[in-house]
Amino acid sequence: MSSREIHKVCIVGASGKLGKYMIRHALERGYEVVGVCRPESVGKLDEFAGCITVIPGRTDDRDVIKKAVAGCDGVLVVLVPWGVHDYASGTARAVLDHAGPGARLVFSCGWHITRDGKDVYSRTFRAMLAAATVIIRLVRMADIRDQVKACNLVFASDALWTVVRGSDLEEGESQGLPAWSRHVGDPILASNITRRIDFALFMVEALVNDDLIQEAPAIVGCRTESALAHAAAR
């Protein structure tokens, strides 16, 4: 842990479900918040009018990101692989290039991202991922390989990054800060479910947790069976 001070954060992809939860957590901590979202989604942030600054624009637009991250101590990035034109990697590159050198950068993705190849996936998970990768690329909806490329850009960077790898998600009230492990396949993660509000909590808490710098934690809800069994065994 550290006593790193955060005053101003940029949330890239602020208008989605994860983004809005992150806005709430950030405002609760007294942070000044700048949100980036697509122009057509600005209305989704009406509930925060007067509390945050909204910068409309695509998250892979370098000029938009340059303006949005100026003066921010932390940048929270919802990495999504929409479309087939390098949206996720363009977003990651823009943030890595324009955030200040001392800024904490926290990116979201899923368990399918592996940093060191030591994650262990079930056969079902691998089959579903392979099918989804092909099908959504065929219909030009999304390109999961681009999210992989985005994360590899982050992993290769010297910045103060954290890549938070989400399990399956569900809605519901907060259960508290998720548990995490370096590798999918570790018993603590077996329950494979996290409340979306707590995924956002982990992202925002990572800003002040220096133990997570240059880590890619895979998370799971702290009240799940596998997390509770792990805690009891310690």
Ligand X SMILES: NC(=O)c1ccc[n+]([C@@H]2O[C@H](COP(=O)([O-])OP(=O)(O)OC[C@H]3O[C@@H](n4cnc5c(N)ncnc54)[C@H](OP(=O)(O)O)[C@@H]3O)[C@@H](O)[C@H]2O)c1
Interacting residue ranges for ligand X, rule: CB under 6 A = 13, 15-19, 37-38, 41, 44, 78-80, 82-83, 87, 108-110, 166, 168-169, 196
Q: How far is the CB of 234 from ligand X (least distance, A)?
A: 26
Helix H or strand E encompassing 67: helix 62-69
Q: Give backbone dihedrals phi and psi of 138, rounded to 5 degrees, phi first.
A: -60, -40
Using a 10 angstrom Cβ sphere, with 0-12 exposed, 13-18 middle and 19 or more buried, the burial of residue 83 is: middle
Distance between CA atoms of 157 and 96, rounded to whole angstroms?
8
Q: Which is nearer to ligand X, 99 or 197 (CB)?
A: 197
Q: Which is nearer to ligand X, 75 or 80 (CB)?
A: 80
Q: How far is the CB of 5 from ligand X (least distance, A)?
A: 26
Q: Which is nearer to ligand X, 7 or 128 (CB)?
A: 128
The residue type found at 8 is K
Q: How far is the CB of 3 from ligand X (least distance, A)?
A: 28
Q: How far is the CB of 141 from ligand X (least distance, A)?
A: 8
CB 38 within 8 A of CB 68: no
Q: At what angle do helices 87-98 and 62-69 cross, to 10 degrees?
A: 40
SS3 content of the chain, % helix, strand, coil (to 5): 40, 20, 40
Residue least distant from ligand X (Cβ): 16
Q: Which is nearer to ligand X, 79 or 184 (CB)?
A: 79
Q: Which is nearer to ligand X, 6 or 113 (CB)?
A: 113
Q: How far is the CB of 127 from ligand X (least distance, A)?
A: 17
